[in-house]
Amino acid sequence: MNDDDPFLTEEDLALRAEVQLLRQEHADLDASIEALGHVPVPDQLLIARLKRKKLALRDEIVRIEGRILPDIIA
């Protein structure tokens, strides 16, 4: 399904846009965590906080995707 699917509601399109933003933020956090791991004395507390935020973003992405694509009973 792509964004020009005539069966998508405005809400679905808005949710897809939100997921894209969250995925970008998730990727940015991943890059930040990777970069912080390469400094001579990494700030482990900051890295742990970023990892928790990254996990929270992942949970939010999964929750929103569940609203876009509800479970189909086979």
**pLDDT (tens digit per residue) in 25-73:** 999 999 999 999 999 999 999 999 999 999 999 999 999 999 887 766 5
Give a yes or no: residue 5 inside a domain.
no
Give a yes or no: residue 53 inside a domain.
yes
CA 26 distance to own-chain centroid = 5
Residue 61's domain comprises 10-68
Q: What is the pTM of this model?
A: 0.79
Q: Distances from the Cα of 52 to the Cαs of 12, 13, 41, in angstroms?
A: 27, 28, 20
d(CA 22, CA 41): 29
Domain total in the chain: 1
Give a yes or no: residue 74 inside a domain.
no
Give a yes or no: residue 49 inside a domain.
yes
Give a yes or no: residue 50 inside a domain.
yes
Give a yes or no: residue 33 inside a domain.
yes
Give a yes or no: residue 14 inside a domain.
yes
